[in-house]
Structure 1
Amino acid sequence: MECVFGLVGNGFSIVVADTSAVHSILVHKSNEDKIMVLDSHKLIAASGEPGDRVQFTEYIQKNVSLYHFRNGIPLTTAAAANFTRGELATALRKNPYHVNVLLTGYDKETGPSLYYIDYIATLHKVDRGAFGYGAYFALSMMDRHYHSGMSVEEAVDLVDKCILEIRSRLVVAPPNFVIKIVDKDGAREYAWRESIKDAPAPPA
């Protein structure tokens, strides 16, 4: 019952993901961070098969870093999105990754942007997007309440409405969510929305 969604506001972009690691009917952990920092001003949020999700996002992160190391300049958000789309398209004909991605970033020239990339390598630049079962409710809430030029406070309020709707509507809803934001000051964690916590590890 994964859920990843995001939106673009006035000078920033925000992405949200559930933090449940599940297999079949089992919950392995409830604090899995599914939003990876690509570089100082980019985030990639992914849903899909856990192995593919982790391996693919790490692969993209390392290649973005490699490009910066080799050329001395970072990829723009659009270039990173197109690179990600290209890797998915190449893998599609060999051994496809079952992973859906929301890639967001902030560029000095163009400001914040959000890209929707699904497992069959469809790429779209969007103002708001979502993946997973929670997308049915997150998208409907964003369709109703989203407007261009939202402030951070308005965006976080809308995110909380989406989370509340997901928790109340899904039969098996993920309890915890992580919220991350990217703007001119960089990519960073904004908050967690927790309803349960993993028990601390027993002493060794």
Structure 2
Amino acid sequence: MSIGKTASTSPTRSPRDPFRRLIGDREGATAIEFAILALPFFIVVFASIETFVAFAGEQLLANATDTLARRIRTGDITTEAGKDGFMTEAQFRQAFCEEIAVMMTCSATEATQPSKLYLDVRELPEDLGAFPQAVPRIGSDLDTSGFTFAPGGPNDYTMVRAYYRWTVITDLVRPLVTKLRSAGESMPRDYLMVATATFRNENY
């Protein structure tokens, strides 16, 4: 007795089946999602870290300004030759650089040729309404042409202003935090930190 051959049958596949399998396949989905979200995620992380570090730098600049201002107020720093505490402008700038050296860099020539740190120390008139209040600017840059080093004597009003050009690293964040732009620069690069101390010197 012979057994007849049974024709094999297979389910007919729709032409759309490969696309359905592709859509349903979750292998590698995590890697793709990470690739899409990585850039904005790291931008936010780096911007947050840079903001924190810059805030700490501003506090350091303010503390240094207060420290040096206190030394002027008490007569520990003076421009009168022959007296204890006599300092030239370069020596004062070097002392300021040493105060902020923990986080802020001063070049080897910063004491004589300012490139990041700018200091304005001056005696003020007794008319308190004449105290300068705004940041001096020329265009989009800091105007340092009127800066001087002339702390007052006993009982004089004195103002110490410190400016530091903090370089912003995160490119996409830079336009949001600064508009400080030197001559010839098409895009802002530095964030201007500012610290001010105004006081009356003691009768030393």
With normalisation by structure 2, the TM-score equals 0.27
The higher radius of gyration belongs to: 2
Relative contact order, higher structure (CA 8 A, sep 6+): 1
With normalisation by structure 1, the TM-score equals 0.27
Q: Considering fraction of residues, name the structure with more strand.
A: 1
